[in-house]
Structure 1
Amino acid sequence: MARRVRRFTVCLSTELYEALKLKAGLSGKTVSALVGDLVRQGLAEDLQDLRLLSERAQEPVLTYEELLAELKARGA
Protein backbone atom coordinates (compact mmCIF):
# COMPACT_ATOMS: atom_id res chain seq x y z
CA MET A 1 0.00 0.00 0.00
CA ALA A 2 1.50 3.32 -1.05
CA ARG A 3 1.89 6.02 1.58
CA ARG A 4 -0.07 9.16 0.97
CA VAL A 5 2.05 12.29 0.92
CA ARG A 6 1.22 15.95 0.96
CA ARG A 7 3.43 18.46 -0.82
CA PHE A 8 4.04 21.85 0.83
CA THR A 9 6.54 24.68 0.81
CA VAL A 10 8.97 25.42 3.63
CA CYS A 11 11.03 28.61 3.70
CA LEU A 12 14.52 28.19 5.16
CA SER A 13 17.57 30.38 5.32
CA THR A 14 20.21 29.55 2.74
CA GLU A 15 22.57 28.34 5.47
CA LEU A 16 19.97 26.03 6.97
CA TYR A 17 19.00 24.63 3.57
CA GLU A 18 22.66 23.98 2.66
CA ALA A 19 23.19 22.19 6.00
CA LEU A 20 20.08 20.13 5.36
CA LYS A 21 21.29 19.17 1.88
CA LEU A 22 24.70 18.21 3.26
CA LYS A 23 23.22 16.09 6.05
CA ALA A 24 20.83 14.41 3.60
CA GLY A 25 23.72 13.60 1.25
CA LEU A 26 25.89 12.22 4.02
CA SER A 27 23.06 10.06 5.32
CA GLY A 28 22.13 8.78 1.85
CA LYS A 29 18.63 10.24 2.10
CA THR A 30 16.77 12.80 0.07
CA VAL A 31 16.13 16.21 1.61
CA SER A 32 12.43 15.33 1.67
CA ALA A 33 13.03 12.06 3.52
CA LEU A 34 15.34 13.76 6.01
CA VAL A 35 12.81 16.54 6.70
CA GLY A 36 10.11 13.91 7.19
CA ASP A 37 12.30 12.03 9.67
CA LEU A 38 13.10 15.21 11.59
CA VAL A 39 9.46 16.26 11.76
CA ARG A 40 8.43 12.78 12.97
CA GLN A 41 11.11 12.91 15.67
CA GLY A 42 10.06 16.38 16.69
CA LEU A 43 6.41 15.40 16.96
CA ALA A 44 6.92 11.96 18.50
CA GLU A 45 6.47 13.23 22.06
CA ASP A 46 3.36 15.19 21.09
CA LEU A 47 1.89 12.16 19.33
CA GLN A 48 2.57 10.01 22.40
CA ASP A 49 0.86 12.60 24.62
CA LEU A 50 -2.16 12.67 22.31
CA ARG A 51 -2.40 8.86 22.39
CA LEU A 52 -2.24 8.86 26.18
CA LEU A 53 -4.92 11.55 26.41
CA SER A 54 -7.12 9.54 24.08
CA GLU A 55 -6.64 6.41 26.20
CA ARG A 56 -7.46 8.30 29.40
CA ALA A 57 -10.50 10.12 27.98
CA GLN A 58 -12.86 7.53 29.48
CA GLU A 59 -11.45 7.84 32.99
CA PRO A 60 -13.73 9.48 35.54
CA VAL A 61 -13.10 13.15 36.25
CA LEU A 62 -12.44 14.01 39.89
CA THR A 63 -12.77 17.41 41.49
CA TYR A 64 -9.88 18.65 43.58
CA GLU A 65 -11.84 17.91 46.75
CA GLU A 66 -12.63 14.36 45.58
CA LEU A 67 -8.96 13.77 44.78
CA LEU A 68 -7.89 15.00 48.22
CA ALA A 69 -10.46 12.78 49.90
CA GLU A 70 -9.28 9.78 47.90
CA LEU A 71 -5.63 10.49 48.75
CA LYS A 72 -6.46 10.89 52.45
CA ALA A 73 -8.42 7.62 52.39
CA ARG A 74 -5.29 5.89 51.05
CA GLY A 75 -3.11 7.58 53.66
CA ALA A 76 -1.17 9.53 51.08
Structure 2
Amino acid sequence: MSEQKRTTIHLDAAMHRALQHKALETSRSVSDLVNDAVRRTLAEDAEDLAAFEERVHEPLVTYESLLKELKENGRL
Protein backbone atom coordinates (compact mmCIF):
# COMPACT_ATOMS: atom_id res chain seq x y z
CA MET A 1 0.00 0.00 0.00
CA SER A 2 1.28 3.48 -0.80
CA GLU A 3 2.03 6.06 1.86
CA GLN A 4 -1.05 7.84 3.13
CA LYS A 5 -1.29 11.42 4.35
CA ARG A 6 -4.02 12.80 6.55
CA THR A 7 -5.71 16.06 5.53
CA THR A 8 -8.77 18.08 6.39
CA ILE A 9 -11.26 19.10 3.75
CA HIS A 10 -14.44 21.09 4.16
CA LEU A 11 -17.48 19.70 2.35
CA ASP A 12 -20.94 21.07 1.88
CA ALA A 13 -23.16 19.23 4.39
CA ALA A 14 -25.36 17.74 1.65
CA MET A 15 -22.29 16.52 -0.26
CA HIS A 16 -20.92 14.92 2.88
CA ARG A 17 -24.20 13.09 3.49
CA ALA A 18 -24.26 11.93 -0.13
CA LEU A 19 -20.69 10.62 0.20
CA GLN A 20 -21.55 8.81 3.40
CA HIS A 21 -24.56 7.18 1.76
CA LYS A 22 -22.55 6.16 -1.30
CA ALA A 23 -19.84 4.74 0.95
CA LEU A 24 -22.42 2.62 2.76
CA GLU A 25 -24.10 1.49 -0.47
CA THR A 26 -20.80 0.50 -2.09
CA SER A 27 -19.08 -0.87 1.04
CA ARG A 28 -16.25 1.59 0.58
CA SER A 29 -14.86 4.35 2.77
CA VAL A 30 -15.43 8.04 2.17
CA SER A 31 -11.64 8.34 1.81
CA ASP A 32 -11.65 5.76 -1.00
CA LEU A 33 -14.42 7.63 -2.83
CA VAL A 34 -12.63 10.97 -2.48
CA ASN A 35 -9.28 9.47 -3.56
CA ASP A 36 -10.90 7.93 -6.65
CA ALA A 37 -12.58 11.23 -7.55
CA VAL A 38 -9.30 13.14 -7.19
CA ARG A 39 -7.44 10.46 -9.18
CA ARG A 40 -9.98 10.72 -12.04
CA THR A 41 -9.76 14.52 -12.03
CA LEU A 42 -5.96 14.46 -12.19
CA ALA A 43 -6.06 11.84 -14.98
CA GLU A 44 -8.42 14.09 -16.98
CA ASP A 45 -6.00 16.99 -16.47
CA ALA A 46 -3.13 14.82 -17.73
CA GLU A 47 -5.17 13.89 -20.82
CA ASP A 48 -5.95 17.57 -21.47
CA LEU A 49 -2.29 18.54 -21.18
CA ALA A 50 -1.31 15.75 -23.57
CA ALA A 51 -3.92 16.94 -26.07
CA PHE A 52 -2.60 20.51 -25.82
CA GLU A 53 0.94 19.22 -26.41
CA GLU A 54 -0.17 17.28 -29.50
CA ARG A 55 -1.80 20.39 -30.96
CA VAL A 56 0.90 22.93 -30.05
CA HIS A 57 1.93 23.43 -33.70
CA GLU A 58 -1.58 23.92 -35.07
CA PRO A 59 -2.37 27.45 -36.21
CA LEU A 60 -4.18 29.68 -33.76
CA VAL A 61 -7.72 30.64 -34.75
CA THR A 62 -8.91 33.78 -33.02
CA TYR A 63 -12.51 34.32 -32.06
CA GLU A 64 -12.67 37.38 -34.30
CA SER A 65 -11.39 35.48 -37.35
CA LEU A 66 -13.85 32.67 -36.68
CA LEU A 67 -16.76 35.13 -36.53
CA LYS A 68 -15.56 36.79 -39.75
CA GLU A 69 -15.41 33.41 -41.50
CA LEU A 70 -18.89 32.48 -40.30
CA LYS A 71 -20.27 35.79 -41.61
CA GLU A 72 -18.52 35.35 -44.95
CA ASN A 73 -20.03 31.87 -45.28
CA GLY A 74 -23.51 33.17 -44.49
CA ARG A 75 -23.76 31.20 -41.27
CA LEU A 76 -24.24 34.31 -39.11
Q: Which residue of 2 aligns with 1:32?
A: 31
| 1:8-35 superposed Cα distances (whole Å, 9 cap, x missing partner) | 1110121110001001111110000010
Q: CA RMSD in A?
A: 2.3
Q: Which residue of 2 aligns with 1:8?
A: 7
Q: Please show how residues 36-75 of structure 1 align to structure 2 within 5 Å.
A: 36-50=35-49, 52=50
TM-score by length of 2: 0.58
The CA distance in 2 between the partners of 1:41 and 1:27, in whole Å, is 18
- Name stretches of at least 5 consecutive residues in structure 1 with no aligned partner: 57-61, 65-76
Percent identity (aligned): 38
* Deviating 4+ runs (over 4 angstroms): none
The CA distance in 1 between the partners of 2:4 and 2:47, in whole Å, is 22
In the TM superposition, what is the alpha-carbon distance from 1:49 to its structure 2 partner? 4.3
Whether 1:19 and 2:6 are equivalent positions in the alignment is no
TM-score by length of 1: 0.58
